[in-house]
Amino acid sequence: MKKLKYLFYLVLVVLVVVIYVNYPKLNILSGYSAKSMASSVFVAKRGVAFTDSTDNNFSPVNLAKDFVDFTEKTASASSLGILTRKAIYREGLGAVLVPKGYKTTKSYLTPNRNNSSNESTFPFGNGDPKDSVFSNIDYINLKKVVDNHFNSNFKTRAVLVVYKDHIIAEKYANGFDENSKFLGWSMTKSIMSTVFGILQHKGLLSVKEQAPISDWENDDRRQITIHNLLQMNSGLEWDEDYETISDVNKMLFLDEDMSKAQMDKKLVGSPNALWNYSSGTSNLLSKILRYKLGSEQEYLDFWYRELIDKIGMNSMILEADLAGNYVASSYSWASARDWAKFGMLYEREGNWNGEQIFSKDWDDYVVTPTPTSDGQYGAQFWLNSKSMMPDIPSSMYFANGHDGQRVFILPEQDLVVVRLGLNGDFSNNNFLKGILESIQD
């Protein structure tokens, strides 16, 4: 009997140790599942079963069990019955994780939107695109290239190809269409960068000025400029590892104010001498925009009024953290056509239907390689400046998000290509090469 008692206590101790060691992982795991479910159901209008079987079906997230309350507009996820996290949906601000005891009735500001219906044709309106046939396009080959990209291994959900302002190819996976919203992940960084370009165009800031962070004023971090942050070479410490309990995972799934994670880091290198990709930096930049715009309401409104709604990206939703900051590192949703409009704004050097949204100089700025990035990175955009995609023009650049979210901008070819899905394990070079080969000069 004593042996059984000791064995019981031993098993209990082992169980407690296992739970203690894995608790932080379960916290993040449950947080991911709850946030993903809330956004999928209440922002993208997808079903619970669909989300569980597609977006949340990978290990170890699939260990969490989800429950959705459609009345309260919340999603909860429990990992192994041990730890439960909750995400709530806030109209205008998307879904956000909340701590235990959070009052869902708490008031919050929301962005003012201009969602007036513009039925003129794409891209300057939300009406159907004009049918057009270009004699220099091999449509049979183009269709083959696009269809091949819907290989089941790629989990592609949408592809859109725009040439000379006309949609020449558009395809969606089953269950999706031109009105479906897709999570851009880190393509949100490029949206945020563009807001800086608009502010600079309006004379409201210069990216060369020091970052306005009061906590940095009395140490070497005071040297860091907005430019350094936009180019991700501030010299600040950051761990962007999605496989561990890293800085980025703690920020996205534990922090109520996501701007603080990078703000509180120390220097590990000199500004302009160490490129380090950091989602924390993008959320700090989002906070800087809030400083510059003066009030929370103006901050919430400006992104939509001066960029998103102005170019008719009316489907887009920017999600905010509990402190009211847009999560510029990761959380924006929009239709494939609206993601294409964003690429077209850059392909048109900032001019939208006759109005200059940002200067041509800004277009040049975002594609200027960060000195320490080996030509891969500009100002929150990825580059092909050193022909890492050897069959694609070196002038091509792109917004780039997790799992292969892409808005490719090829200015010399008057071409924008959007790809959205769940798996980024494919050759960007071969995909774009096939599209380019379908368009004869």
In the chain, the number of structural domains is 2
Q: Do both 225 and 343 map to the same domain?
A: yes
DSSP 58-120: STTGGGEEEEEETTTTEEEEEETTTEEEEEEEETTTEEEEE-TT--TT--------------S
Tokens representing 32 are 């991911």
Q: Do both 84 and 167 map to the same domain?
A: no
DSSP 325-369: -B-TTT-EEE-HHHHHHHHHHHHTTTEETTEESS-HHHHHHHTSP
Helix/strand/coil for 144? helix
Q: Do both 71 and 162 map to the same domain?
A: no
> Do 329 and 316 contact (CB within 8 A), yes or no?
no
Which of 85, 100, 67 is closest to 27 using CA atoms?
Answer: 85
- Looking at 98, 131, 155, the residue that finishes a domain is 98
Q: Specify if 292 maps to a domain.
A: yes
Q: What is the pLDDT of residues 241-291, one digit of tens each?
A: 999 999 999 999 999 999 999 999 999 999 999 999 999 999 999 999 999
Q: Computed over its alpha carbons, how large is the radius of gyration of the chain?
A: 23
pLDDT greater at residue 36 or residue 81: 36
CATH of the domain at 404: 3.40.710.10
Q: Specify if 119 maps to a domain.
A: no
Q: Do both 419 and 316 map to the same domain?
A: yes
Tokens representing 53 are 């079987």
What is the C-alpha to C-alpha distance for residues 373 and 377, in angstroms, rounded to an integer? Answer: 6
Q: Do both 69 and 167 map to the same domain?
A: no
Q: What is the pLDDT of residues 83-95, one digit of tens each?
A: 999 999 999 999 9
At residue 429, φ and ψ (nearest 5 deg) are -60, -50
Inform me whether the pLDDT recorded for 4 exceeds 90: no
Inform me whether the pLDDT recorded for 8 exceeds 50: no
Which of 384, 380, 421, 385 is closest to 400 using CA atoms?
Answer: 380
Q: Specify if 9 maps to a domain.
A: yes
Give helix 336-347 / helix 187-201 axis angle, nearest 10°: 40
Helix/strand/coil for 33? helix
Q: Do both 50 and 184 map to the same domain?
A: no
Q: What is the pLDDT of residues 193-230, one digit of tens each?
A: 999 999 999 999 999 999 999 999 999 999 999 999 99
Q: Do both 145 and 91 map to the same domain?
A: no
Q: Specify if 130 maps to a domain.
A: no
Q: Bridge-partner residues for 282, per DSSP?
A: none
Looking at residue 230, its pLDDT comes to: 98
Q: Do both 67 and 170 map to the same domain?
A: no
Inform me whether the pLDDT recorded for 411 exceeds 70: yes
Q: Do both 390 and 313 map to the same domain?
A: yes
Looking at residue 115, its pLDDT comes to: 78
Q: Specify if 206 maps to a domain.
A: yes
Q: Specify if 294 maps to a domain.
A: yes
- Looking at 98, 116, 149, the residue that finishes a domain is 98
- Looking at 34, 67, 98, the residue that finishes a domain is 98
Q: Do both 13 and 145 map to the same domain?
A: no
| Reported pTM | 0.94
Going by the DSSP 8-state scheme, the letter that residue 46 receives in this structure is -
Q: Do both 163 and 264 map to the same domain?
A: yes
Q: Specify if 327 maps to a domain.
A: yes
Q: What is the pLDDT of residues 90-114, one digit of tens each?
A: 999 999 999 999 988 889 999 999 8
Q: Do both 415 and 324 map to the same domain?
A: yes
Inform me whether the pLDDT recorded for 11 exceeds 50: no
Domain containing residue 383: 139-437
Q: Specify if 11 maps to a domain.
A: yes
